[in-house]
Amino acid sequence: MKRKRIFMLLAWFTLIGFSAIGLALIIFFQEQSLSALFLEPMHWGLQLLIGTVVGYISAILALKVIHLPWLQETNQFYTNLVQQFELSTTKIIFISLCAGVGEEILFRGAIQHWLGVVITAIIFVAIHGYINPADWRISIYGIFMTLVMILIGYMTVHLGLISSIAAHFMIDLVLLFKLSADKPPVISTEPPAQSPNGINEPEIPK
């Protein structure tokens, strides 16, 4: 119960705290209006549509990456991590919204202005723990997510911040729903059966 409460508090902090920091940086240190950042250069409705589609496709591809055979342990770790919070549909939507709004305002809206698209994407993914020199498996997923974040960064530049918020929201929404519903993959630690002559026999599916 305590973990769930902390998790929800972090979601609220992401929405309110990250947004406040990002908006303060934009208002006081950038020479652009909030309306221009959110509503230009593309109409907000088209931003929302494109961002949603890009986010959905990115999430499906991310699931394919994390379900690769050599990422089985990584998949198991994140599936167990998500499922321990027993997230309801409402909470999944809320958490996805918090991350989409708060993180995009801070990173794509504010930080990207000074560091650029690529460096901001790398920092963003690294902070989330997906780039780890000591773990090449999670780093494969991290490289993929870095490419996705670079795409989202350029969407902010050429479409508007609403597009990146929509994409981020959709990615988290799909991943959280999928990981919450999945059965954790079973990783066998037993050696393969041997025949009387000492030759390993293939495991029979159960």
- Read off the pLDDT of residues 32-87 as tens digits, 9 standing for 90 and up: 889 999 999 999 999 999 999 999 999 999 999 999 998 888 889 889 989 988 89
The count of domains in the chain is 1
Average pLDDT over residues 87-101: 96
Is residue 1 in some structural domain?
A: no
Is residue 205 in some structural domain?
A: no
Among candidate residues 70, 33, 65, the one with its CA nearest the CA of residue 160 = 33
Q: Give the per-residue pLDDT at 134.
A: 87
Domain range holding 145?
56-184
| pTM reported for the whole predicted model | 0.86
Is residue 64 in some structural domain?
A: yes
Mean residue pLDDT across the chain = 89
